Amino acid sequence: MPKPHSYQRQNILNMSGYVSGEQPDNASVIKLNTNENPYPPSPAVDAILKGFDTSRLRRYPSPRADHFRDCAASVHHIHRNNIIATRGGDELLRLLLTTFVDPGDCIGMTDPTYSLYKVLAAIQNSRCKMVPLTDQWSLPGTFADDLNQDNCKLTFLVNPHAPSGCLLPPERISAIANSLDGLLIVDEAYIDFVDLPNHDLTTMAVNSQNIVLLRTLSKGYGLAGLRFGYGIGPEHLIDPMLNKTKDSFNLDTISQEIAAAAISDQAYAGEIWAKIRQQRRSLQEGLTFLGLNSPVSHTNFLLVTVPRTCAKNAERLYQELKAEKILVRYFPEQRLSNKLRISIGTPAENTHLLATLTNLLESG
């Protein structure tokens, strides 16, 4: 039988897709591999679901999610025209590329970074400029110059950084944006776990020429299963995505109501963020006691180094934890192959993880 003809575009045929973290069906598995929030969303979400009038589903949803945008604008003290609501942060990333980047243009990013960026660049048939981070996971001083030299149309910058958890201060972000010739997309997926009250880029982005912030309800609001995100930026960058390139009805009615309720309950969200920050400190101390060090993290995960003196390498520890029904993330890339990324769990989950790691390390 002849081989079927491929109708894929050549760049799609040549690329590899995004590899998600493992999603087990077994509820007994302790899942610390995809940076999900260990706590449930706001009780206001339950109220929305229990009281939702299903007859509303016969009509199309708000095309621009205006109610959610009003709620988010109130939280951030900006105008709703500076906000676009999207199907998770990932849809915003795709919209930014399809709206502002021509096929063949160069897209800048750090190395390492969120692996979906390269996948989306390949789909857009764009080139990637990868700028290696220093040994301390910081940006080199020539970051903007390196990207300008390759005529990068758009640059993705995760802050706090994934997978290290390190944070760039607002003044450094501002300097980079002012130096870049193209757009700067600051991916703030983990911003809710930053414990610095003055770290807020919202005003900077709204008043800028070239900054868009990515926000998501997946992490800080415990709604990873909802797939709801939003972007913040100047109106001249938000408007073409909102009114030209996004899907006509990209967010369903139920999702919009849930997201509006969740983001409006800042008191509950703040309590959850404080719990996760406290558990982050506690878990880091416990791991350090075991000889598994990690840089200071401003996220809901830790990037732990397994030292060469350890009888087991990172990959083996990952596999043995998995056998014990504990999932963490292992990356085979060269700079990460001696590390494990561990999401912050509940106190009970973190305690069980530390006890299991103690036994595995002592067993040699």
Binning pLDDT at 50, 70 and 90, where does residue 5 land?
confident
CB 221, CB 42: distance < 8 Å: yes
Per-residue pLDDT of 108-160, as tens digits, reads 999 999 999 999 999 999 999 999 999 999 999 999 999 999 999 999 999 99
What proportion of the chain, given as a percentage, has pLDDT over 90? Answer: 93
The SS3 call for residue 208 is coil
Which bin fits 127, alpha (ψ -120 to 50), beta or left (φ > 0)? beta
Q: Is the pLDDT of residue 364 over 80?
A: no
pTM of the model: 0.96
What are the DSSP calls for 327-364, one per residue?
E-EE--SGGGTTEEEEE---HHHHHHHHHHHHHHHHH-
Structural domains of the chain sorted by starting position, each given as residue range(s) with its CATH number in brackets: 10-41+267-363 (3.90.1150.10), 43-266 (3.40.640.10)
Q: How far is CA 199 from CA 203, 282, 288, in A?
A: 11, 23, 27
Q: Which two tokens stand for residue 174?
A: 């501002």
